[in-house]
């Protein structure tokens, strides 16, 4: 008797997810960001694809609405790149859920992504995924603090050489 | 008429004890006791329960989970429900409960049942620890005490009720049913308990001597202790030995061989059943232990049947062995001479041109085997010279040297000096050149040499 976990990815669940995404438009509208129903459906499909690609399964509404609500006030988002950025963010999110060994909660990971995206990455998704989140995942795996940086060590070593090295 | 059982549409033997719930649904569906819609609803309820468990598992921090973890959680839910459904008198009633009570209620009942099982199994474990067979076998103790304690420490019925966590290395005599989680540990400990109760009928010393007969180094062997003890007890009754001391005369094997030769498996089982009847009366065993022993007989009958055919009945009916009575030879290498003096003699030997001169010097100056050993290692003698010197020694001295310098394995060679390896090889060559009888005597002497004082 096979109990297929995919039963949860049925049409009913997808429709519910699309509705939840559409509801986010109420908040994002004031930032000039709106998604059509077709775009919302595409996002839900991307979510399913990303989950499958990363060997994960999701119950309930998922994180699309959380990502939208967090990122909608970003100065680097406009109607031109809104949908495309959301697709990328979704895929990056699930990839780094695995890479961080589930050590961070959804909210904390989204918060970290938003800070890095608006701050040091200046709206670059490549820098976000390839550098900042990569560093975060490595730090968590090695048991360092999430914002730990190798640069600090190099600096410490230089200082040691300068003052106390023999 | 009171014993008439209700005919069940699902046969118990078609159900898996490991994946009871899944196999029950499958059989119920095949027997048309569940419709497509009902089955789909059950599946959906299970997955809803999984969603709820996932949320608890993630402590509400994460909405997604890895597929493997979700599968484990689902397996835990299925197992928990299965534990409860097994409590129903027959599978049909279990299916009716699935339809009537709903998955959530079944799961809750299953959790309570697992908690009860956990409590009772912990109590059983404590009582087993208090009455362990006093044996030096390392696997027995490490599995039953440390292994099971490790299971209780790691077992988490909320999210991984189906996990066993440990390998339970020490084997029980009965073929273990395919079970999971706490059900497996409970069954395993029940078997251990019965086996301990039986072995406790004999003194630890007698069991130790019997197991020495099985193998002198049984401490390091992974085998079931109960089997040789039960076989020996049966053998004692059949051959007129002392059951209480598990002691059979060497001639008993012949008697047993005559008894079992030419018998079929069924005939052997019949003989064993009759013998166990006498054993039970002699040892005053409890009813559940009697049942356990009776269930052990087919396996022992199979062993006897094979052993008679292969003429290895002495490996089934073990004769006790008393290693403490073995003759022991204690050989002293003697005291070493002063270092200064040794250096002078060594130099002198190394400067000799002829072997005869070297031997003469050794004979006149070396008075202990410890010094001779040093000379053999340090004097840079060639093979011919070493063999010639060895030929001057008496058998006891050769045996002592062989004991100290056995043929090293390829791995051991890395830790030895070149001269030590050369001496080992010379000793082996020397032994090989002896007549076969002398070689055997030498081997026996090497085994008997227990401690060599230096």
pLDDT digits (tens, 9 = 90+) for A29-55: 999 999 999 999 999 999 999 999 999
How far is Cα B195 from Cα B190, in angstroms, rounded to an integer? 9
Q: Is the dihedral of CA B381, B387, B388, B390 positive or negative?
A: positive
Q: Are the beta carbons of A102 and B58 separated by less than 8 Å? A: yes
Q: How many CA atoms lie within 13 A of A71 on its CB side?
A: 32
Query: Cα(B68)–Cα(B160) distance, rounded to whole angstroms?
Result: 12
Question: What is the least distance, in Å, from the CA of B74 to any CA of chain A?
Answer: 9
Query: How many Å from the N-terminal Cα to the C-terminal Cα in chain B?
Result: 83
Q: What pLDDT was estimated at residue A164?
A: 45
pLDDT in tens, B350-364: 999 899 999 898 989
Of A3, A60, A63, the CB nearest to B51: A60
Q: Provide the terminal-to-terminal Cα distance of chain A, rounded to the nearest Å.
A: 70
Instruction: Kindly list the residues from chain A whose CB atom is less than 8 angstroms away from the CB atom of residue B29.
Output: 1
Q: What is the pLDDT of residues B46-100, one digit of tens each?
A: 988 998 999 899 888 888 899 999 999 999 999 999 999 999 988 999 999 998 8
Interface predicted TM-score (ipTM): 0.81
pLDDT in tens, B132-185: 999 999 999 999 999 999 999 999 999 999 999 998 899 999 988 889 999 999
Q: CB–CB of B70 and A57 under 8 A?
A: yes
> d(Cα A138, Cα A144) in Å, to the nearest integer?
8
pLDDT at B240: 87
**Residues of chain A found within 8 Å of residue B25, distances taken between Cβ atoms:** 1
- In a mutational test of the A interface, the residue from B16, B62, B85 whose CB has the highest number of chain A CBs within 10 Å is B62
Nearest CA in chain B to A3: B43
pLDDT at res. A166 = 37
Give the nearest chain A residue to B70 (CA atoms): A57
Is the pLDDT at B4 greater than 70? The verdict is no
E strands present in B308-448: 329-332
Q: How far is CA A141 from CA A95, A113, A138, A166, B135, in A?
A: 15, 18, 5, 34, 45
Measured between CA atoms, the residue of chain B closest to residue A50 is: B64
Query: Considering just the CA atoms, what is the radius of gyration of chain A in Å?
Result: 19
The whole-number pLDDT of residue A79 equals 93
Chain B residues with beta carbon closer than 8 angstroms to that of A13: none
pLDDT above 90 covers a percentage of chain B that reads 57
pLDDT in tens, B304-327: 999 999 999 999 999 998 887 777
Read off the pLDDT of each residue in B221-232 and give the average, rounded to a whole number: 94
Q: For residue A165, what pLDDT band results from cuts at 50, 70 and 90? A: very low
User: B64, A3: Cβ pair inside 8 Å?
Assistant: no
Mean pLDDT of chain A: 85
Where residue B440 falls among pLDDT bands split at 50, 70, 90?
Answer: confident
In terms of CA atoms, which chain B residue is nearest residue A51?
B64
List pLDDT tens digits, range A110-136: 999 999 999 999 999 999 999 999 999
pLDDT at B216 over 70: yes
């Amino acid at each position: 008797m096979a109990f297929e976990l995919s039963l949860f990815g049925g049409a009913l669940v997808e429709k519910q997810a699309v509705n939840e995404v559409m509801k986010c438009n109420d908040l994002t509208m004031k930032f000039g960001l709106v998604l059509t129903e077709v775009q919302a459906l595409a996002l839900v499909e991307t979510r399913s694809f990303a989950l499958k690609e990363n060997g994960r399964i999701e119950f309930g509404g998922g994180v699309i609405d959380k990502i939208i609500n967090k990122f909608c006030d970003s100065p680097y988002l406009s109607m031109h790149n809104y949908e495309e950025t959301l697709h990328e963010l979704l895929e990056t999110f699930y990839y780094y859920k695995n890479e961080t060994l589930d050590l961070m909660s959804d909210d904390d990971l989204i918060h970290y992504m938003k800070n890095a995206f608006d701050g040091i990455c200046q709206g670059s998704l490549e820098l976000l995924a390839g550098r900042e989140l990569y560093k975060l995942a490595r730090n968590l795996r090695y048991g360092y603090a999430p914002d730990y940086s190798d640069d600090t060590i190099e600096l410490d070593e230089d200082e040691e050489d300068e003052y106390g090295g023999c | 008429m009171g014993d008439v059982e209700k005919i069940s549409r699902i046969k118990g033997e078609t159900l898996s004890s490991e994946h009871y719930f899944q196999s029950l649904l499958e059989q119920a569906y095949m027997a048309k006791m569940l419709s497509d819609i009902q089955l789909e609803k059950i599946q959906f309820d299970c997955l809803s329960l999984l969603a709820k468990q996932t949320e608890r598992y993630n402590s509400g921090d994460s909405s997604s989970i890895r597929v493997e973890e979700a599968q484990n959680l689902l397996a835990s839910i299925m197992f928990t429900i299965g534990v409860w459904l097994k409590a129903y008198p027959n599978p049909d009633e279990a299916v009716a409960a699935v339809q009537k009570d709903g998955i959530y209620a079944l799961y809750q009942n299953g959790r309570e049942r697992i908690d009860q099982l956990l409590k009772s199994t912990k109590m059983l474990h404590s009582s087993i620890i208090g009455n362990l067979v006093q044996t030096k076998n390392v696997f027995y103790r490490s599995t039953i005490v440390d292994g099971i304690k490790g299971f209780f420490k790691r077992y988490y019925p909320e999210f991984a009720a189906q996990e066993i966590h440990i390998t339970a290395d020490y084997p029980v005599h009965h073929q273990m049913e395919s079970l999971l989680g706490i059900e497996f540990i409970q069954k395993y400990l029940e078997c251990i308990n019965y086996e301990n109760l039986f072995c406790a009928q004999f003194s630890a010393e007698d069991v130790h001597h019997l197991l020495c007969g099985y193998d002198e180094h049984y401490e390091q062997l992974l085998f079931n202790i109960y089997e040789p003890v039960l076989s020996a007890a049966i053998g004692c009754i059949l051959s007129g030995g002392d059951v209480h001391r598990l002691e059979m005369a060497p001639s008993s094997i012949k008697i047993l061989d005559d008894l079992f030769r030419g018998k079929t498996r069924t005939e052997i089982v019949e003989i064993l059943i009759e013998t166990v009847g006498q054993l039970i009366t002699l040892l005053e065993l409890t009813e559940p232990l009697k049942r356990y022993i009776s269930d052990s007989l087919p396996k022992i009958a199979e062993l006897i049947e094979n052993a008679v055919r292969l003429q290895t009945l002495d490996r089934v009916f073990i004769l006790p062995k008393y290693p403490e009575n073995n003759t022991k030879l204690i050989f002293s290498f003697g005291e070493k001479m002063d270092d200064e003096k040794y250096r002078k003699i060594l130099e002198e030997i190394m400067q000799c041109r002829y072997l005869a001169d070297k031997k003469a010097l050794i004979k006149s100056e070396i008075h202990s085997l410890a010094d001779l050993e040093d000379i053999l290692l340090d004097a840079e003698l060639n093979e011919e010279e070493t063999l010639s010197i060895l030929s001057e020694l008496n058998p006891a001295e050769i045996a002592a040297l062989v004991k100290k310098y056995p043929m090293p394995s390829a791995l051991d060679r890395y830790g030895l000096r070149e001269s030590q390896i050369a001496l080992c090889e010379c000793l082996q060559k020397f032994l090989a050149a002896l007549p076969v009888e002398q070689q055997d005597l030498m081997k026996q002497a090497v085994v008997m040499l227990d401690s060599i004082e230096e």
